[in-house]
Chain A
């Protein structure tokens, strides 16, 4: 083991390798309910070359490698299940290119959402990227590696993985590959028209290689912002409401939430429609079209837009939503995990009812909601359970609740997103065997030594 340590020191420098108990403790766990693991090393590479040498070293010695960005996935996907090296990618944080005409940027994998957002706001204020509702230290690569989504997912084409225009990856066998147009020309504008290899690394949770650079689509940033909050009291009306509003193509982020507290929200559903515009005239038109799309509900007084004073809107208009962090501590004890499931819009009422049942049976506090991804092509429906980390019984209840939520998602025709091992196995058990076989073949091909985040997406334990 000392050889490996010494070699790691030779690669990144002594300051950026640790096998101290403190780092092994910290990097062996996340804020969710998954049991902790324990890495053997935590390494902070600064360049693709360093990553390559580390991966080669690991492959030669059969040492697992677990790439990590912000470590905010909550379901333990950056917690080493079989020891090995945790690769904290956040030193690789340079923003390499912003192409203002072709609307893309190229960043190193460990660039944080916050850094990119601030950089664009200051240097390229006419452009923005889609940010997830996570603390700003979440990384660009980590987010696309798990098929994340965010505030532009409804209006600008879906999951963040769909907004990737190119990747640079280090394969488990040590090769460095560029995928997408950047493989052939010096620009990162598209994955098409080449055979799409980026898909081998998006949503694979770090099991097929280490992403070292990402090309991301950028979108126009408009100065005027507003949010409309539509209140219903019939969950079964919600899919139709969402469908109508989405079809106007006038909204940016469209989200939906239910919460038992405060009491005056209990039993109601809120659909938030964010609208951006260049001019007041455009804003008025967009607002009018959104309102008109649900006019029958307004006429029947079955639902309506809540008048929101300006100061209430300020919090709702922030991207990312900081209030999520406060909600995460509602039980006091700082534990928070949610099951996100990707579902068709029509599954929402069923998902909601299932969620009420799960919370009641397990005696846990809940919050539920969804974000529309693409023009209503899917929603990311979440069951969120905050818990007191110091209360083992509560932890257990939440574990059961999360497991039940995963199962409910699948039963309703949805798929658990960025899920922990138990959820992965549920999915694999239901998956078309030919698809499973293809996944396994690809893993074996790319990672013959089985070093990349092992324990994840494996059928046999």
Chain B
């Protein structure tokens, strides 16, 4: 019923298949709710909170003037439900953990330094860049591995950086994507104050999620520093890496918060192209048309979309396997885990490996 140029690539629609779980469906239902034609309840909450904010609808909607606002509208609708206390339990728990612990893993701040153990990385004290790893880089097993690889890669590329270690706090991007604008802003203001105090001029992030909120929103909330994603910083220095030759066939998964949200599709590809002999096999859905791994909107932590063969991440790894690639490369710690789990669920682990770009490049020596 909704017009649906956007349907084919929407993770929630792919999974639920009711038109209510499409961008158009959500628009109609939000209007009906605001006009008093339907009442907000569990189902509406489920429909709204399963939007992973991937911006596929913004990309494909045929209506200029409307398309740009779609995800903002969905996030605002989530916010309205949060205020009314109509939040699915998994989202509620996630937000509560963020509020109470400052991270979704419920780990103490002191543990935020653990990821860097043994790497001998300097604390930030005026270096050119601050390398920010965020919650996943500090607490998620695969994220930690990726953070370590990126740190080593930045070093090899000659980037002068320091880290915050246990002084890091959450960036707030996913909290906002889950409807809690107020909490996101509070987290942002805490972090910006910290960075401003330290005199940070340039931030390089591990996750595209942090990159997104810091680049677009932090300036209005007091941030006085420039922000880049690590692929962008390394892409400029890729010649310094001198990777060795390989016969590897690699597919690249565009992360939504680097791609559709921030328009960066080429920096990660520049890294792959720098490896002699490496074949980049583009998936049919690439760049602006990439199929989200399903990790956004807080789903990475809440698992609100659940699992099953139609789960976006599983559809995506099937698509990657079909290209004949041996490796599915990612640039985001959330994509990394979502797709790695999906490969196992699909029984593809004997022929497709999910690797972050940094780990992959480090292996090419």
Direct A–B contact present (CB less than 8 angstroms): yes
Give complex CA distance A114, B7 in Å. Answer: 11
Interface-lining segment among A12-20, A147-155, A193-201, A380-388 = A12-20
Residues of the A chain whose Cβ atoms lie less than 8 Å from the Cβ of B37: 25
Give Cα A332 to B132, complex, Å.
44
Inter-chain contact A27/B19, CB cutoff 8 Å: yes
Structural contact, A26 and B20, CB atoms closer than 8 A: yes
Task: Decide if A326 touches B38 in the complex (CB within 8 Å).
Answer: no
Q: Is the CB of B62 within 8 A of A25?
A: no
Check if B19 sits within 8 Å of A26, measured CB to CB: yes
- Do residues A27 and B1 form an inter-chain contact, with CB atoms below 8 A? yes
Indicate with 1 or 0, residue by residue over A7-34, a CB within 8 angstroms of chain B CB atoms.
0000000011010111101110111000
Interface SS majority for chain B? loop
A29 and B17 contacting across the interface, CB-CB below 8 Å? no
Tell me, yes or no, whether A325 is within 8 Å of chain B by CB.
yes
Pair A322/B62 contact, Cβ less than 8 Å = yes
How big is chain A's contact interface, by range?
20 to 34
Q: Determine how close the nearest CB of chain B comes to the CB of A204; give it in whole angstroms.
A: 21
Q: How far is the CB of A93 from chain B (nearest CB, A)?
A: 10
Describe A's contact surface by its main secondary structure: mixed
Chain A residue with Cβ nearest B308: A15
Return chain A residues, CB-CB under 8 Å to B1: 26-27, 29-31, 71-72, 78
CA distance A35 to B266 in the complex (A): 49
Residues of B within 8 A of A71 (CB): 1, 19
* A31-B1, A325-B3, A326-B63 known; A25+B16 contact, CB < 8 A: no
The answer to whether A319 has its CB under 8 Å from any CB of chain B is no
Is A44 part of the binding interface, using a Cβ–Cβ cutoff of 8 Å?
yes
Q: Give residues of chain B (256-276) contacting chain A, Cβ–Cβ below 8 Å.
A: none
B284 touches A326 (CB 8 A): no
CA distance A4 to B20 in the complex (A): 22
B32 in contact (CB, < 8 A): yes
**A135 and B32 in contact (CB under 8 A), knowing A21-B39, A88-B18, A326-B63?**
no
**Which size bracket describes the interface of B in this complex?**
20 to 34
B359 interface residue per 8 A CB criterion: no
B225 interface contact, C-beta 8 A: no
Query: Any chain B CB within 8 A of the CB of A50?
Result: no
The yes or no answer to B108 lying at the interface (CB within 8 A) is no
Tell me if A63 counts as interface (CB < 8 A to partner B): no
Q: Is B43 an interface residue (CB 8 A)?
A: yes
CB distance from B22 to the nearest CB of A (A): 9
Chain B interfacial positions (CB closer than 8 Å to A): 1, 3-5, 7-8, 16-20, 25, 28-29, 32, 37-39, 41, 43-44, 47, 62-64, 66, 284
Beyond contacts A26-B29, A27-B19: 11 other A-B pairs, Cβ-Cβ < 8 A, are A20-B43, A22-B44, A25-B32, A27-B1, A30-B1, A88-B18, A115-B8, A135-B3, A137-B4, A137-B5, A325-B5
Q: Which 3 A-B pairs have the closest CB atoms?
A: A325-B62, A71-B1, A137-B4
Q: Can you name 18 A-B pairs with beta carbons within 8 Å?
A: A16-B17, A18-B18, A21-B39, A22-B29, A22-B47, A26-B25, A26-B29, A27-B19, A78-B1, A88-B19, A115-B8, A135-B3, A135-B5, A137-B4, A322-B62, A325-B3, A325-B62, A326-B62
